[in-house]
A and B are shown apart, each in its own frame.
Chain A
Amino acid sequence: MLANIASFSVPKRGSAQQECEDSTWVGPDGLGAGEFDINRLRIVVADGASESLLAGRWARRLTSTFGTGKSSTRAKPNFIATYNTAVDAWAKEMDEYEVEREERGSPIQWYEEPGLAKGAHSTVVVVEIFDGKQGIPPFWRAAAIGDSCVFQVRNEELVASFPIQEEEAFSFSPSLLSSRGGENDVIRRHIGLTGGAWDHEDSFYIVTDALAAWFLRIARNGGHPWEPLRDMNTVDFDLDFESWVNAQRDAGDMHDDDTTLVRVDLY
């Protein structure tokens, strides 16, 4: 299959790009942008919780682990195993982090200690797109915890919305993966799995919550939210992603939050 991929990210107002706590991993190499001729594609988007310390770092740990690990969209035990790998790696990363802070002369401060003890939190959505082979038609699968979303658009219609279908379902308290790990049975209850067929010329939009809520509201009102996203970064659109997001924020149509879009056009 041919996949044309573009990724965009903008922090909440007043924050620098390096303070953005969204993270993306797009296969095959994690950097994913441009045109690829491949038989399977993986995209991971994570959104670190604003009230969580080191949330961006944890989101990056999740995207890299889910991006490079075994497929986690087939079944919940696969997802949990990959998550536990990330938790183990995080514990080691935090030990090194505290040592590095001490050595740098910037030891952990009182306001960081409770957050470090509480752990970091993030959503994650993993999308895998497979080419057809040996009589099996092309298909895709996704797994998610939280409110980062994937939308599938075909022939000017929204044909799949996962894991959230309604704008009203967004809140300040989505399900989150903790860097401290959790009980497998509890995690299992919160994992969403989905999948389906795809056709050539379908598009997938993998987005974090502020853009997802905007997307679903426009779609519910009969609009085509994919139109500006489809044209983003092309000669058909005057605004860059940051300017466009700021325009939606100014109009009161989009929550001021770190905002990420990964667009995948399939041929």
Chain B
Amino acid sequence: MQDQIGSGEGQRKCDVVADALNRLLFELGIKCAKEEGVRDYFYVSVIGYGINVAPALAGPLAGRELVPLSEIAASPARLETRSKKVPDGAGGLVDQEVKFPVWVDPVANGGTPMSGALNRAQSIVSTWLMDHPGCFPPVVLNLTDGESTDGDPSFPADSIRQLSSSDGPALLFNLHVSSDSSAAISFPDSEEALANQFARTLFNISSTLPDGMRTYTQQQGIPVSDGTRGFVFNADVTSIIQFLDIGTRASDLR
């Protein structure tokens, strides 16, 4: 889910959210890439909310509500070329051009109907679970500035977290993009360090991390406890992709 955040002065939060979402899809495609294709280990729904609540993929997938990952990978709206710093083999860094697919464009629209969007997500997840009762628990990721304009999001959030497959409860994670200068926070276990009420609300509606994800988070050097939640404040959210287990992780010997 993506909030088409109304842009204000300074940094365009809508650009930050769209970029985070594109990077999520990019990482998910790479994670599931196999020889000459991407496996459909996941189906993806991208719902935008601004003037209305509606599917947000651009390009060939526009209007599609639930798309197998292989189609997502095969049909970005466009491929951009970006510059990436890579080791030069001599202890320094050098710019390298990489292809970066774009599926979602920033949209600056007024309104943040988060409750409506969460209700829509609940409906999609509920339908999915009827057809796939034994699946990996669905993950709903809400990317937003947190200022719900259509009521308290706690109730639809609860209704998502109450859904479950035989493998566990559905998970609701939140990314809060804020224009204030508070320090970035990843996967906190309390709301104390959060700068504003919107962030605290999003923290409180976020799922606690299941054991495997908590262990992975800890391995990344982030302190965890039983209360650690799937909430990120002004920080990189792509690590959530690494939470998703599709089998043996590939890493070099150390």
Contacts and interface: CB of A to CB of B under 8 A. Distances in A.
A190 interface: yes
B253 A176 contact: yes
Contacts of A47: 248
Contact of A176 (B31, B79, B250): B250
A254 interface: no
Which of A111, A114, A177 has the largest number of chain B CB atoms within 10 A?
Answer: A111
A234 interface: no
A51 B248 contact: yes
Interface residues of A, number: 42
Interface string B30-46: 11011110110000000
Given A50-B248, A51-B247, A172-B247, A110 B99 contact: yes
Interface in B199-254: 245-254
A178 B249 contact: no
Given A50-B247, A51-B246, A257-B247, A57 B35 contact: yes
Contacts, number: 82
Contacts of A172: 245, 247-249
A245 interface: no
Contacts of A56: 35
A259 B31 CA distance: 21
B248 A111 contact: no
B253 A49 contact: no
Contacts of A110: 29, 79, 99-101
B98 A113 contact: yes
A52 interface: yes
Given A175-B253, A186-B254, A19 B34 contact: yes
B248 A53 contact: no
Interface residues of B, number: 25
A111 B253 contact: no
B245 A187 contact: no
A196 to B, nearest CB: 26
A187 B252 CA distance: 10
A111 B251 CA distance: 18
Given A53-B33, A111-B38, A173 B99 contact: no
Contacts of B249: 49, 51, 172-173
Interface in B5-44: 29-31, 33-36, 38-39
B250 A121 contact: yes
Q: Which 5 A-B pairs have the closest CB atoms?
A: A50-B247, A52-B250, A121-B250, A49-B248, A110-B99
Given A51-B246, A111-B29, A173-B248, 9 more contacts: A49-B247, A54-B35, A110-B101, A114-B30, A121-B250, A173-B251, A178-B252, A182-B253, A187-B253
27 contacts: A12-B247, A49-B249, A51-B246, A51-B247, A51-B248, A52-B250, A53-B34, A55-B250, A109-B73, A110-B100, A110-B101, A111-B29, A111-B30, A111-B38, A113-B99, A114-B30, A115-B30, A172-B247, A173-B248, A173-B249, A174-B248, A175-B253, A176-B250, A178-B252, A180-B252, A182-B252, A186-B254
Interface of A: 12, 15, 19, 47, 49-57, 101, 106, 109-115, 118-121, 145, 172-178, 180, 182, 186-187, 189-190, 209, 257
